Structure 1
Amino acid sequence: MNGSDPHVWERLEPAWHAAFALFVLVTAALVVTGTDAPTLPGLALLTVIGVAHALLAPPAMRAAPSRLGAAYLAATVPATVALFALTPVGSVMLFVLFPMVWRLLGTRAAVVVTIGLVAAVTVIGTVLSGAAPGPGYLALYGGAALSAVLLGLWITSIAAQSDRRAALLAELERTRSELAAAHRAAGALAERERMARDIHDTLAQGFSGITLLVRAAAGEIDRDPAAARWHLDLAERTARENLAETRALVRAAPPAPPAGDPLPVALSRSVARCGEAMGVGATLDTAGWDAPAPGRCPPERELAVLRIAQEALANVRRHSAASEVAVTLRRADGGTRLEVRDDGCGFDPAADRAGRFGVNGMHGRATELGGTLAVLSAPGAGCRVIAWIPDACPADPPGLAPEALAPEAPAPEETARTAGDRP
């Protein structure tokens, strides 16, 4: 239970006070209409019980056990016993006195008071009846005391169970609130990571390409105006595509290849742009990639393949100094297999380098969708990026062993990596 959900005793307290008042009124009516006892003394005792309950019971019940509870019982127990001695109708008030004893006292004290109260009532009843004490008296007293104690213990056990349930519910509520907060934080973090990755894979790459093209045009503007214009035209085209990517990110449109083109078409545009920017041969082989049936390969999976390819091509353009780039798109093991290969300078994947966001982002895209990614390279041996994205997340995705996925085995000096970037 939380702060706005009161304990069971607090929820039932108004009904209990109303029931207590009803018992007082019924007993008063019986005292007034009875002929076997003085009316004024009986009403005086009921007044003591009623006033004590009105003044002491509400705070005592909320702070039990406490001195207030002991003070309440010190006033009401003798008054109730005296009322019973005055008239048998006083026994009506015993029905509400016993629950108050067990509510306001600890278990041991409640047992002692209950046994004493039963003994007092039994003795008074025996005296009033004029019967001599005997085995029947002891049996009656013992049975009444045992019944009262067992009833009190039962009431206490119910209250204890209620306390345990209240504590459990409060703990569950706290846990649920903590989990909800953790889920919100995780969702916000995942969204930030997704946005950072999308910005890196689209806008940052585009701006990097534009910078390289403008720099090349600046170096050629005096000696080769035609080449400078060609680089500027390519920079303008890249900027337009970057603008389209920015608008798509702002709209938070469902993931799909740019311009809604099929994956091979969008990928061919990225490969051609890389070849144009580097002035080298760049090829795309999609002969082994059969367009899946509608709904078989969700758009976000095609987009992941495209983004991985774009990041790999951006690394080739920035770092490889390659003279040839080859991209292969295949269907394999119920998914899409992508390979980006260059014959550039290569690098040591085991080297400790800062700024690995690119390949880490590629790896994250693959693993989020149940796929795998490998980077194979060595200094002077070029680089191969191999990714596999399933059509649906499998329970156990196939591994990306180079001998199983690559059309040819890597050179002995090549090293496989799942994260990293060029120096």
Structure 2
Amino acid sequence: MLSQILALAIFVLMLVFIFWGKYPRHLVTLAASGGMLVVVFLLSMGSPEAVWKALSIDSMFHTQFWFAHGGVTEFNVGINWSTILFLLGMMVMVEEMSEAGFFDWICLRLAKALRFRPMPLMLSFMVLSALLSMFVDSITVILFLVVATVRLAHFLKFDPVPLIIGEIFAANLGGAATMSGDPPNIILGTSLGLSFWDFIRNNGTICFWGFLVVLLYFYFCFRKKLGDGIQTTSPELLDLDPADAIPNHNRFTVSVTIFLVVLFLIATHTNTGLTMPTVGVLAIVVTLLTTKYPVSLLKRVDWETIGFIVGLFVTVSGLEQTGILDSLAQCLYDISGGDPTVMVIVLIWFTAIASAFIDNIPMATIMVPVLLSLSSMGIDLHTVTWCVSKGTDIGGIATPIGASANVAGVLAAGREGHPIGWKRYCKYTVPAALMVLILSMVLILTMH
């Protein structure tokens, strides 16, 4: 009982400090994980084995971690190194693409094709944001889109905030469609043995219809503010050449080729037997071998997010090993009465509301062992997984702090001179998130 109280206290304190935002969130979770290892596992439980289980280093020495039938690894209590290595591989690869000018090139090319008209720009940048975020880290997508949007807004004299809010929503929704597009899905997929195509068949269908609804919603929200799309553009702007955004064409070609090969490996990993951490490591190795600036590239990787997730895994392991998450699973089961339909409704809204305020990455991390416990009680694992995936992904869009892409986008907009407050952000995102959540709930109940 004492171990449970201490574990829960450390976890709650971690959430309070994350929500407070005064200290870097990766330092908060790493400090919490240190507290969990020392205070709970060693002092309270007196169990070095629990520490070893939380660190889960031995999982990487199993053949199945790197090469397995179906391309999936088993869930381990503690740090999910499958998630860490795959996410790190994607980050390294995407940073090289960014430096090679890929994102600036595609953004300028699209803007020029639309003759820089504000309303078509908003809708098209939302589509671009969603498509790229299906395969590329949504934080990276948002950072380059915000900068590009602000620059265009200064040229064309329109308010960039509506476009930025739409791009943030679209990036999260696009990332929710695949296993590789959003950290919560990476955590769920690598932990529960799901494939890239499992996410496409289930989340992809839901996100497609949700995205159509959201496009219409944002069009009607901002059609008056951005005009009817007719804008007089200077000849100098129309004469811009997208190719000028590429500093080195050889580097550009190599980075895009690596990206396409990695996408192919992700899509075929269940056939080849290559697990997601193997694909991630291959992406790291090939990218570093082909770039002229490997050290500089590694410095630009978002190590803070990696540290944040590692700390979360260890902290959540404390809740798992002390039995708190089993109790949460039992509570959810009791609320639903074991009825699958009620369970779908409970899980979607529980995870959505929680993710809106405590970040969807820790919520997904918490729910993995909970889902496994529910599965042992006779609840279909796949059905409840899609509920948690949609709840964490969509619920996390509703507030400026619910997902990493939101935080990055709002901060980037502020640095560019266009601050976005809670009131203005939530005015548009909360109704959109509610619509997509209701649609997701209906479709999951219909499909499963």
Q: Which TM-score band (shorter chain)?
A: under 0.3
Q: TM-score, normalised by structure 2?
A: 0.20
Compare the two structures and name the one with the higher strand fraction: 1
Compare the two structures and name the one with the higher helix fraction: 2
Greater C-alpha radius of gyration: 1
Q: TM-score, normalised by structure 1?
A: 0.21
Bigger relative contact order, structure 1 or 2 (CA pairs below 8 A, ≥6 apart): 2
